[in-house]
Chain A
Amino acid sequence: MAQPAVFRVEGVTKTYVTGSVTVAALRGIDLILNEGELVVLLGASGSGKSTLLNILGALDSPTTGRVFFRDTELTGLDDAGLTAFRRAHVGFVFQFYNLVPSLTARENVALVTEIARNPMPPEEALDRVGLAARLDHFPAELSGGEQQRVAIARALAKRPEVLLCDEPTGALDSATGVTVLQAIWEANRDLGTVTALITHNAAIRQMAHRVIRLADGRVTAIEENASPQPPQGIEW
């Protein structure tokens, strides 16, 4: 790989302490994500995938270890610095869509474009995920797949350098899931957005440049995929 690293993760551990219970969610992760790459994080439930993704997206900070985004050390930033980082560079997509229920599709996207530096118009972002016709619908009036595509449009609208997706198809059936994945895949292909996508559906790995397997808070394997497939060809 000749591309420069976008993320560099060095010896990251994360330990949660709740009362008398201590959980080691990550036990020493070293990892690099490269420019333009789409990686899939695979692993059993509880293996630490979300924890890792949250740390990459600066939603959470590691207990030990260092995380770099290009030349910036995220682990050295304060809360305001982390907020600014998220605001400028990261788009998130979550399993449960997390749309603001009182805002329409367009307004949910506008929420982000209003605070971004160089956003695309909300209409364009929604058109990209095939929702140009549902601009003024409230989340409750949209199907699960449509809601998730709004969430993707919202994440992409600010033209983020990084797109982090935590089980975006987890709550969807297979056919709907494919349309959602297609939107993510196209964004990576057309905009070059570095994308990390969590799933525990192994079939999805075919769309990635690399597949990173986690188990018990450790990276157990990294597979390269020479010819990523568009999700439309994938079945599960």
Chain B
Amino acid sequence: MVMRALDRKLLRDLRRIWAQALAIALVLGCGVMVLVLATGTERSLRLARQSFYDRMQFADVFASATRVPKGQLAEIAAIPGVAQAEARISMQVVLDLPGQTKPAQARLVSLPEAGAPVLNRPVLRTGRLPDPRATDEVALSESFAEANGLFPGSSFGAILNGQWRELRVTGLMLSPEFVYLIGPGSLMPDDSRYGVIWMGEVPAAAAAGLTGAFNDLSLTLTRGASRDRVIDALDRQLAPWGGTGAYGRDLQSSDQFLSGELDQLGAMAVILPPIFLIVSAFLVNMVMGRLIGLERPVIGLLKAMGFTGREIALHYLKLAAGIGLVGVLIGWGAGWWLGAELTALYTRFYRFPWLVYTPGTASFALSALMGLGAVVAGALRAVRGSARLAPAVAMQPPAPPRFRRGHIDALAVRLGLRQTTMMILRAITRWPGRALVTSLGVAASIAVLVACFFTYDAISSVIDAAFSRTNRQSVTLTLAENAPRSVIEDAAHLPGVLRAEGALAVPVRLSHGPRSERTLLEARSPEATLVQTLDAGGHAVPLPADGLALPESLATKLDLHAGESVTVTLLAPPRDSFEIPVTRVIRQDLGETASIPAAALAARMRMAEQVNRIDLLLDPDRLAEFDRAVKATPAIAGTLFWPDVQRQFDATLNENLTRSVSIYAVLGVLITVGVVYNAARIRLSERSYELASLRVLGFSRAEVGAVLVGELMLLTLLAIPPGLLGGYGFAALIAEGFSTDVVRIPLVIARRTYAVAALIATVSALVAALAVRRRLDRVGLATALKQRE
């Protein structure tokens, strides 16, 4: 193919300014990368969820009750809007795994007599389904089995109906219900301590003491049915049987986490890329402005030859687009790769049978469009100027820039500043636009760095609040059913227990005006010290003597303020409703639980205080004894060891957070490098004559270099305050955008974060400026003086 001479010029120009072009392309590439990464991964995750749910008939509505006679199922299936209804047995069981003293826990779910369920169908990964009648055969959730070295053929112990029983594994499964599996009361999935067990319905019912009945229900809806109306009807139907309130997918734990993750990816795609696109647009503007300034004679020449303004503008636009194209390709490559990595990482937390990285063409097309759009927008002003230049004017050298004596000069004279310092100040005041772009660019970089390190601060604060201040117990015991307060005494006598406190957790619906939310209400003694509530500032505060303490997120959803009344409807027996004032709005980062003093709840329920959860402080030296005792106590349906939760939390975050923080730190640094390097190159090309003259006059290399580097460092220092401020705003956007129903990101920024961000940007700026300064050494004095541009 014959390439036009003008296009050949373009390629050679691009090659000549490659370092500057690359610096811009990298900044642009960052934006494109984040866009591809976020939207591509989001799409992959969404598709995986969609196909899993569709193929395996994930239910729309879930409900549990104490004991529902089987005959009720037909009536439930007849509720208008219900497409399919399936009943089963579900309960928490304590497991005794081979070679482990510490009890593990599982949710036991029954399989219908006929074999595989109709709804929430598990995918059999290896082995076979358990024989529906066999009392000792079970299938296991795959991740739990893997984490504990169990496989088809292995056996382990379980406490069923108060008896230790040996169970045999027949197969490993994945279920759309348990893509993200988290134990009751826990904060993170812990594959080694919590899993799912599938067992035939008959033996499961026998183990639960529910023969001829069921206690768990899943429904799908007909097209166009009102979910809320079905839930209401279902709640009425189940009320006599101890129903605890039906709920939709939005409150189904696994789907809730998945939706949160998808929302966060969506937020990432919206919050981060614009910064990079805007900075690259400004960089392109700066570089193209200078390039076109240098090319004035060529532009004049092209005009003299009869090239139209449009042709010339197109030529320079193509140059900018060339830079954009490189950036888009870099971003595509990096985005594709990181997206695949992130998707692979997800397979460790989200158990999909078919999670394939399928970023889709849309994310690539969109990112390319935005990337090229940014550079073209950046180039437009300079390019339009080139098209308008009159040919006769273009061929004359531009008039030397006019410097004027101003206030700064007067001040400088009064301060007795050196002439080289004056050169720096004049350069800034003479080209205020470029100085502004440089400073704002560095400020954007500082903002990205602040926001990036802020995630550390925020998560540390979440961990501190969750583990050091809210949950200070060693273990939480879940009881099989509500019990009188006297069991706290019994628990206190378990070996190694230093302190025991009880709590009652009941599902409730909170209503305020037209708004209502289903949540868990926890009743505990105001004197409790193991589990505490935190005020908005994160300080532990005792529960008020009466009234409700609501987490801020719930208060916002219900539009409630401290002092206002809320209607509480108990979703479990006695199923009463009562009005109660909200006495305090508290901070809760993980999960959403309302708290109430135990006496206040008991009074309103008109019954003696009860507990179904016991928090214990343990003597770490007597853990083994404690573990054995728990396995031998049938009333205990589950145990949650908080040090394990925290260890799991720390390990996961350390890995994930370190990874993403380092990536974003690199992105932040790239902005500074891109901006300062380009500003320095432009300065050098503009001032090589002036700087060479200084050398001729006898200034040393270091002194002359200081003029160049000094200006850039001054602009960098000026960028710090707006950068830190921008960082705060950016962090606020992230806290807002990344908070979901299951985790709230607090806007907490450590002073060290500000300092580190400013320091990193300053050092990057210095390195970039020094890299350009080295070129100054290479400029021959004679040539610099001759080639007056």
Contact = CB atoms under 8 A, between A and B. Distances in A.
B414 interface: no
A115 B305 contact: yes
B391 interface: yes
Interface string A122-155: 0000000000000000000000000000000000
Interface string B296-314: 0110111111111100000
A20 interface: no
Contacts of A88: 306
A87 B305 contact: yes
Nearest to A154: B305
Interface stretch (B6-14, B48-56, B114-122): B6-14
A90 B5 CA distance: 20
A84 B306 contact: yes
Contacts of A83: 303, 306-309
B651 interface: no
A80 interface: yes
A61 B463 CA distance: 75
Nearest to B297: A98
Contact of B304 (A80, A86, A108, A115): A86
B16 A102 contact: yes
A68 to B, nearest CB: 19
A181 B301 CA distance: 21
A69 interface: no
A152 to B, nearest CB: 14
Contact of B4 (A90, A96, A102, A114): A114
A59 interface: yes
A141 B581 CA distance: 89
B392 interface: yes
A113 to B, nearest CB: 9
Nearest to B10: A102
B221 interface: no
B131 to A, nearest CB: 80
Given A100-B298, A100-B301, A111 B306 contact: no
B395 interface: yes
Nearest to A60: B392
B390 interface: yes
Nearest to A151: B301
Interface in B1-25: 4-6, 8-9, 12-13, 16
Nearest to A51: B392
A15 to B, nearest CB: 14
A112 interface: yes
Size bin of chain A's contact surface:
20 to 34
A94 B308 CA distance: 20
B305 A103 contact: no
A115 B307 contact: yes
For the residues of B in contact with A, the DSSP-based class is helix
B5 A110 contact: yes
A39 to B, nearest CB: 20
A84 B298 CA distance: 18
B392 A59 contact: yes
Contacts of A185: none
Contacts of B298: 98, 100
A54 B300 CA distance: 12
A7 interface: no
A90 B304 CA distance: 8
B4 A59 contact: no
B708 to A, nearest CB: 25
Contacts of B309: 79, 83
A57 B5 CA distance: 24
Contacts of A92: 301, 304-305
A103 B390 contact: no
Given A60-B390, A98-B301, A103 B8 contact: yes
A167 interface: no
Interface string B269-308: 0000000000000000000000000000110111111111
A107 interface: yes
A163 B297 CA distance: 19
B7 to A, nearest CB: 10
A98 B306 contact: no
B306 A59 contact: no
A57 B16 CA distance: 33
B108 to A, nearest CB: 76
A27 B13 CA distance: 43
Given A59-B392, A94-B395, A112 B12 contact: no
Contacts of A86: 303-306
Nearest to A108: B5
Nearest to B390: A60
A103 B6 CA distance: 9
A111 B5 contact: yes
Interface in A71-119: 79-80, 83-88, 90, 92, 94, 96, 98, 100, 102-103, 107-108, 110-112, 114-115
A83 to B, nearest CB: 5
Contacts of A84: 306
A85 B305 CA distance: 10
A103 B4 CA distance: 11
Choose among B304, B308, B309, B391 the residue with the greatest number of A CB atoms under 10 Å from its CB. B304
Given A54-B392, A102-B12, A111 B308 contact: no
Of the listed residues B16, B390, B395, the one surrounded by the most CB atoms of chain A closer than 10 A to its CB is B395
A193 B307 CA distance: 21
A90 B6 contact: no
Contacts of A54: 392
A92 B395 CA distance: 12
Contacts of B5: 103, 107-108, 110-111, 114
A90 B16 contact: no
A111 B395 contact: no
B64 to A, nearest CB: 75
**Nearest 8 A-B pairs (CB), nearest first?**
A87-B306, A102-B12, A86-B306, A110-B5, A60-B392, A111-B5, A107-B5, A59-B392
Interface of A: 54, 57, 59-60, 79-80, 83-88, 90, 92, 94, 96, 98, 100, 102-103, 107-108, 110-112, 114-115
28 contacts: A59-B391, A60-B391, A79-B309, A80-B308, A83-B303, A83-B306, A83-B307, A83-B308, A83-B309, A87-B305, A87-B306, A87-B307, A92-B304, A94-B301, A96-B297, A98-B298, A100-B9, A100-B301, A102-B9, A103-B9, A107-B5, A110-B5, A111-B5, A111-B6, A111-B305, A112-B305, A115-B305, A115-B306
Given A98-B395, A107-B8, 11 more contacts: A54-B392, A59-B391, A59-B392, A85-B306, A86-B306, A96-B297, A98-B298, A102-B12, A103-B5, A110-B4, A115-B305
